[in-house]
Amino acid sequence: MPPGQRTPIPPRALLQHDSATPWKTLFTRAALLLAFLTHTPLLPGENLEGRPLRTDGMDAPPAPVESVSTESVAEAIQRGIQFLLADQNEDGSWGSPHRTKGLNIYAPVPGAHHAFGAAVTSLCLSAMLETGNGSPHAKVAIERGEAWLLENLPQVRRADPTALYNTWAHAYAIQALVRLLHRPSHAARNERKITKLIRIQIDFLRRYESVDGGWGYYDFRAHTRKPSSDSTSFLTATALVALHEARSAGISVPSDLTERAIASVRRQQKADFSYLYGEYLRWHPMLDINRPGGSLGRSQACNLALRLWDDPKITDDVIRAWLDRLLARNDWLSMGRKRPIPHESWFSVAGYFFYYGHYYAALDIEQLPPRDQERYRPGLANILVPLQEKDGSWWDYPLYNYHQQYGTAFALMSLHRCRENPQQASPLRPNN
């Protein structure tokens, strides 16, 4: 038996009792037997397609919700836009390395903050492009954000051999640049520049790909030129979604790069379509963070990424099952929101998974038939609209001066897809 693995107790033996067995031990065994009888995990080789979803007690359907009024969603979006307009930096970017606290995420300067700034600016620019509705103020903000990206993205690199936050920047920059390409007002000259910059971001993703495929954001091992660390499922999924958008815009994406990334996500996929936090946890699949409660946000992104890259296992039933879980068990994510220490909440959830997970859930909704979309939009809007702050922002984790910006961007793009007839905002929506 591998080191550290516990010997399983046969169910019949749990209640066996003799005079040498303390009653306290017997009661403990009775509790274990009850847990055994009421827990029905998937058997090896089974998945969601052949049977009802029953794992970890996470399969309760979400309670019916009243639809958030169209006016409430529109008002929340407008307030979020106003926050981003007022918060944009003079140079056209969003976010800054200010507002430090006693517990700051490891960020070697200045490279880490170059990456944070590029990723957050890309997200805010995407949100403005999707929700700005062509207003004059939004148009100016978009043009300033675009100018900042065109000038600064080519210089974004990893901070040092250990911190690869730039991988987030390359992925979200691709999405922002693809949305810029969709602007009808762009001249051919700008289109060429943007297309070239997208290709540069794809090349950076190849350069900083983990040695076994996919992407991580730390390398605490060999500090090699090609990162030696294991990939994480959710960052790899984020990059795959961005690369699919680039391909949909007619830009060539290396197949070997995506094939290795897809294989990495699949290696981290469990039978119930929860996903490991990272490949380094493959020998610990039942840690809290790898269970459904810890995977609520990751599964939305990972299922979407595999679905977009034509994985036949990610059916509508799988998408629906995990949207149901997100709505019915949203507290597992919510309890981590705004906690200052990463992974201190139940199921080791970190606060910064909250708006991230809901954004990819909104993209998942777009993958479903119209009737299902109408079913899930109210639940998502009911979660997000009440969480808007007084200043119009949303935030889930105190990250220097980037958290309000990325939280607001994620929430805006999520709520945009909660509208009754949302304008197509990305090339991810299939023809239903």
How many C-beta neighbours within 10 Å does residue 60 have? 11
Computed from CA positions of residues 372, 374, 378, 380, in that sequence, does the dihedral angle turn out positive or negative? positive
Which of 51-65, 221-235, 248-262, 268-282 has the lowest average pLDDT? 51-65
Query: What does the H/E/C string look like for 3-55?
Result: CCCCCCCCHHHHHCCCCCCCHHHHHHHHHHHHHHHHCCCCCCCCCCCCCCCCC
Is residue 122 within 8 A of residue 66, CB to CB? The reply is: no
Is residue 52 within 8 A of residue 59, CB to CB? The reply is: yes
Q: What is the pLDDT of residue 8?
A: 38
Nearest to 179 by CA among 420, 355, 352, 409: 409
Nearest to 388 by CA among 179, 77, 108, 12: 77
Does the pLDDT of residue 70 top 50, yes or no?
Answer: yes
**Residues 228-236: what's their mean pLDDT?**
96
Is residue 380 within 8 A of residue 362, CB to CB? The reply is: yes
**Residues 101-124: what's their mean pLDDT?**
95
Nearest to 226 by CA among 252, 239, 208: 208
- The confidence band for 30, taking pLDDT boundaries of 50, 70 and 90, is low
Q: How far apart are CA 396 and CA 402, in angstroms?
A: 11
Q: What is the pLDDT of residue 54?
A: 44
Does the pLDDT of residue 161 top 80, yes or no?
Answer: yes
Is residue 164 within 8 A of residue 111, CB to CB? The reply is: no
Instruction: Give residues with Cβ within 8 angstroms of 24, minimum separation 6.
Output: none
- Cα 260 from chain centre: 19
Per domain, the residue ranges of the chain are 70-416
Q: What is the pLDDT of residue 53?
A: 46
H helices present in 97-254, as ranges: 111-131, 136-152, 166-181, 188-207, 233-248
Tokens encoding 294: 């810890």
Tokens encoding 249: 């815009």
239-297 pLDDT, tens per residue? 999 999 999 999 999 999 999 999 999 999 999 999 999 999 999 999 999 999 999 99
* Cross-strand partners of 218: 163
352-378 pLDDT, tens per residue? 999 999 999 999 999 999 999 999 999
3-state secondary structure of 401: strand
- The region that residue 95 occupies, defined by phi over 0 for left and psi between -120 and 50 for alpha, beta otherwise, is left
Is residue 265 within 8 A of residue 236, CB to CB? The reply is: yes
Give the global pTM.
0.86
For residues 192 and 20, the model is more confident at 192
Q: What is the pLDDT of residue 41?
A: 39
Q: How far apart are CA 411 and CA 405, in angstroms?
A: 10
The whole-chain average pLDDT of the chain stands at: 87
Q: What is the pLDDT of residue 13?
A: 41
Phi, psi angle pair for 96, to nearest 5°: -165, 165
Instruction: Give residues with Cβ within 8 angstroms of 35, minimum separation 6.
Output: none
Computed from CA positions of residues 360, 308, 244, 203, in that sequence, does the dihedral angle turn out positive or negative? positive
* Fold (topology level) of 70-416: Glycosyltransferase (1.50.10)
Q: How far apart are CA 426 and CA 246, in angstroms?
A: 10
